[in-house]
Chains A and B, each alone.
Chain A
């Protein structure tokens, strides 16, 4: 069964990494519902947030393939209940109508929308939320002469995540120059070994 999955990929800051991630989807003819790139809490490490509607098995395999891209540090996949997520939307509406119709103002307030720019001819509002609320406000504002609309891609925080800091330390710790591997443990079958 297809459902929404949010993929979070931490990457090195490399030119072309966007393409390398994107072709993983296009090769399998999977369209992206949304894609966002942003810095992460660690300097020089980027964070991709990608939303797809797919079946679990497809997403699982896809995520493993993304994880194989050399410049990708870590990939996570979450269902919607495992993340806190938001999007931002901007709406441009004729100022005249807002001034005239008090319900528009009430409407905007109900949706927690804030004015970003107010000019004589138009006003730009922003609202933050999830698809549903944003789409509702959008359809409402259509009735009042909406001039322009744009919605950002999803950004998401994983509820269970401890951030990338720890992982990075772990990945760097595995640098054999700093922590040489001892192959003799191979005969000790009870020990978990790291490469």
Chain B
């Protein structure tokens, strides 16, 4: 605040002082301990950028190359750090370029605050230059949004924005500020953070009778299965969760969004559920007697065909968002609440159990999957490299300590199936929306959010070309990001479906790529291309050892498929391990 006052007309003996709306925005960010902003300037947000100029030492602004890059970077930042990501964009196209990222952050519950400039209030609704109705455009893809037309509203609305984005089930918030409000001088009383909004309940009331009922079910269960999602990470409840599963030795599977909340090699971990998850947890979902779902939302990619999903099981569902309970799968016992609060209550009521024979079923299934599938990808007999072996090689070198940022498609499934992750907030991927082009900007944001960690972005040749311009951001701001492009010269996942379900009619999935290493070179980013198995380890080692960003293009088999697979429209126990089974 001291520094802010120097730039405003402090009147003696008066608490309030004159400040511009823009200064109030900057002060709000400083007060919320924001250290990094991802953004792109433009006409309607210039007053805020002008105010930022004096605070550029405290508020590290990363100039992206496209606003979509800004919001994905903010998401990556938020996902690794647990802090709220902040985005600046101008009105019109600047704001509309945020829409994909907002939808992504909405469906993956990522706390992001976007501040967009807007035309002068008197021009609203006149089709003014770069005017767009961004509040209405973004209503379905934001947790909350609001347009400010008067500077007096700025402190309170921004406080509310940060509170809503981060509390309860997190999500993106967009605040649109007209240019006149940014310029307007008003009596500024300082920033007061928000801790309550009358019409907003971040957490439901916990009902102990349901905790008891849930504990009874789990205690009686002969074949319990825990499936957890990102809720465990968002609730910072990793420790509470481990205590919960370890007390009763509960076999535990994760969703793509929950991955890394427990170490991937935890003895109770039985793998990933979902369309390309592991054989055991998918198959045995339809054999468990009690399914304990924690901080997950029964996405269709997790459940497969709903009327064939865990029909034999009693369902216990822990979630902070009451709207998720009974949305897709009817619950036997709903446990509403923040799992950081509900898990310890539940753990206290659990009876220690072994579940050895039941656990053995998962281990047998995993062994089977390993033999018929995983080992073949890890130690292929073909000349061509597989995506799987790249991941296993990478695990050896990172020891599972890297942040893995994946894009969308086959490589994403391979990353989530095979990468070893020892610590929480290591798996950054676009889970719900499946946004190609997510990884490169998200990795940039992740590096700024966790500078001490190794950040590896893994992309396909298709997704790499979707936000490739962000190499420019890397060039300018030098985050040390490792970029791996697994190039199979196809839009691999769509091609896989075409092969399996459309009689190999490869309709527009054969995508050509530039020489990625040359492109990187153009951005002064080091890199190399690998096509031979013998070069792989050395190249990965060089990439990881490099003290700056590095791009590694790896040519992999053109027509490999990701298995296992729960084909669309099939139940989870109809999971197949090869294409002959389809």
The answer, yes or no, to whether A20 is at the interface (CB within 8 Å) is: yes
Which residues of chain A are within 8 angstroms of B202 by Cβ–Cβ distance?
A: 195
Q: For residue B323, which residues in chain A have a CB less than 8 angstroms away from its CB?
A: 61, 64-65, 67-68
CA distance A58 to B338 in the complex (A): 25
Note all chain A residues with C-beta closer than 8 A to B207.
192
Q: A16-B136, A61-B326, A189-B348 are in contact. Are A73 and B199 (CB under 8 A)?
A: yes
Q: Give which listed residue, A72, A177, A189, A193, contacts B199 with CB less than 8 A.
A: A72
Asked if A171 and B198 make an inter-chain contact with CB atoms under 8 angstroms apart, the answer reads: yes
B322 within 8 A of A: yes
In the complex, what's the smallest C-beta–C-beta distance from B270 to chain A, in angstroms?
29
A27 lies within 8 A of chain B by Cβ: yes
A192 touches B198 (CB 8 A): no
Cβ-closest chain B residue relative to A10: B199
Q: Which residues of A contact B321 (CB under 8 A)?
A: 68
Q: In the docked arrangement, what's the CA distance between A195 and B322, Å?
A: 14
Give the residues in chain B near A60, CB-CB below 8 Å: 326
Q: Given known contacts A61-B326, A192-B207, is B136 in contact with A19 (CB within 8 Å)?
A: yes
A70 in contact with B196 (CB, 8 Å): no
B523 within 8 A of A: no
Min CB gap B426→A, angstroms: 28
Q: Per a CB cutoff under 8 Å, which of B139, B164, B201, B338 touches A20?
A: B139
The answer on a CB contact under 8 Å between A177 and B205 is no
Chain B 9-49 against A: per-residue CB contact (8 Å), 1 yes, 0 no? Answer: 00000000000000000000000000000000000000000
**How many residues of B are in contact with the other chain, CB < 8 A?**
35
- Pairwise interchain contact B197-A70, C-beta atoms closer than 8 A: yes
Question: What's the Cα separation between A192 and B209 when bound, in Å?
Answer: 9
Beta-carbon contact of B205 and A194 below 8 Å = yes
Closest Cβ–Cβ distance, residue B205 to chain A (whole Å):
5
Which residues, 10 to 38 on A, are CB-close (under 8 Å) to B?
11-12, 15-16, 19-20, 23, 27
- Residues of chain A within 8 A of B263, CB atoms compared: none
Report yes or no: A64 in contact with B322, Cβ–Cβ below 8 A. Answer: yes
Across-interface contacts of B206 in A (CB, < 8 A): 192-193, 195
Q: How would residues 166 to 177 of chain A score, 1 for a CB under 8 Å from any chain B CB and 0 otherwise?
A: 001001101111
Which residues 53-88 of A sit at the B interface, judged by CB distance below 8 A?
60-61, 64-65, 67-68, 70-73
- A70-B195 in contact given A61-B326, A195-B203 (Cβ < 8 Å): no
| Binary interface encoding of chain B residues 162-200 relative to chain A, with 1 for a CB under 8 A from any of its CBs, else 0 | 001000000000000000000000000000000111111
Q: Which residues of B contact A23 (CB under 8 A)?
A: 139-140
Cβ A192 vs Cβ B322 within 8 A? no
Q: Which residues of A contact B432 (CB under 8 A)?
A: none
Q: Is A161 an interface residue (CB 8 A)?
A: no
- Which residues of chain B (129-153) have a CB below 8 Å from chain A? 135-136, 139-140, 143-144, 147
- Asked if B139 and A192 sit within 8 Å, CB to CB, the answer is no
Residues of A within 8 A of B208 (CB): 189-192
* Set A168, A176, A193: member contacting B196, Cβ < 8 A: A176
Asked whether A16 and B135 contact (CB < 8 A) given A60-B326, A64-B323, the answer is yes
Chain A residues whose CB sits within 8 angstroms of the CB of B344 once the complex forms: 186-187
A-contacting residues, B322-377, CB 8 Å = 322-323, 326-327, 337-338, 341, 344-345, 348-349
Q: Cβ of B196 and Cβ of A73 under 8 Å apart?
A: no
A134 vs chain B, min Cβ distance (A)? 34
B390 within 8 A of A: no
Within the complex, the shortest CB–CB distance from A95 to chain B, in Å, comes to 43
Residues of chain A with a CB closer than 8 A to B211's CB:
189
Q: Are A195 and B196 in contact (CB under 8 A)?
A: no
- Of B139, B198, B203, B338, which contacts A73 at CB under 8 A? B198
Query: Cβ of A68: which chain B residues have Cβ within 8 Å of it?
Result: 321, 323
Give chain B nearest CB distance to A113 CB in angstroms: 40
CA distance in complex: A135, B28 (Å): 57
A70 and B200 alpha carbons, distance in the complex (Å): 5
* Docked-complex contact A61 and B327, CB < 8 angstroms: yes
Known: A189-B348, A193-B205. A175 touches B326 (CB 8 A): no
A47 to chain B, nearest CB (A): 13
> Nearest residue in A to B328 (C-beta to C-beta)?
A61
Shortest distance in angstroms between B152's beta carbon and chain A's nearest beta carbon?
16
Q: In the complex, what residue of chain A is closest to B212 when comparing beta carbons? A: A189
Residue of A nearest to B145 (CB): A16
> How many whole Å from B148's CB to the nearest CB in chain A?
11
Residue of B nearest to A14 (CB): B146
**A12 to B204 Cα, complex, angstroms:** 20
- Complex contact B140–A177 (CB within 8 A): no
Q: Which residue of A lies closest to B203 (CB)?
A: A195
A70→B205 contact, CB < 8 A:
no
Complex alpha-carbon distance, A190 and B458, angstroms? 48
CA distance A15 to B157 in the complex (A): 14
* B192: min CB distance to chain A, Å: 10
Render B513-556 as a binary contact track against A, CB cut-off 8 A, 1 for contact: 00000000000000000000000000000000000000000000
User: Which residues from chain B contact A15 at a C-beta distance below 8 Å?
Assistant: 147
With CB as the reference atom, state the residue of chain B lying closest to A11. Answer: B199
A11 to B323 alpha-carbon distance, docked (Å): 18
Inter-chain CA distance A187–B344, complex, in Å, is 8
- Chain A residues near B135 (CB, 8 Å)? 16
Residue of B nearest to A172 (CB): B198
Which residue of the partner chain A has the closest CB to B195?
A176
- Tell me if B196 and A177 are in contact (CB < 8 A): yes
Q: Please name all residues of chain A whose beta carbon is closer than 8 Å to the beta carbon of B147 when the two chains form the complex.
A: 15-16
Cβ–Cβ contact A27 & B140, under 8 A = yes
- Docked-complex contact B136 and A186, CB < 8 angstroms: no
Contact, CB under 8 Å: A70 / B144: yes
Q: Write the chain B residue with the least CB distance to A66.
A: B323
How far is A51 from B49 in the complex, measured between Cα atoms in Å? Answer: 47
Contact of A71 among B199, B348, B349 (CB under 8 A): B199
* Across-interface contacts of B205 in A (CB, < 8 A): 192-195
CA distance A148 to B164 in the complex (A): 48
- Of all chain A residues, the one with the shortest Cβ separation from B204 is A195
Enumerate 15 A-B pairs (CB-CB under 8 Å) in ascending A order: A61-B323, A64-B322, A70-B199, A72-B199, A174-B196, A175-B195, A177-B195, A187-B344, A189-B208, A189-B345, A189-B348, A193-B206, A195-B201, A195-B203, A195-B205
Interface residues of chain A, those whose CB is within 8 Å of chain B, are 11-12, 15-16, 19-20, 23, 27, 60-61, 64-65, 67-68, 70-73, 168, 171-172, 174-177, 186-187, 189-195
Closest 5 A/B residue pairs (Cβ): A64-B323, A195-B203, A175-B196, A70-B144, A73-B199
Residues of B within 8 A of A (CB): 135-136, 139-140, 143-144, 147, 164, 195-208, 211, 321-323, 326-327, 337-338, 341, 344-345, 348-349
New contact pairs (5) apart from A11-B199, A71-B199, A191-B208, CB-CB < 8 Å? A12-B198, A16-B147, A20-B139, A64-B323, A171-B201
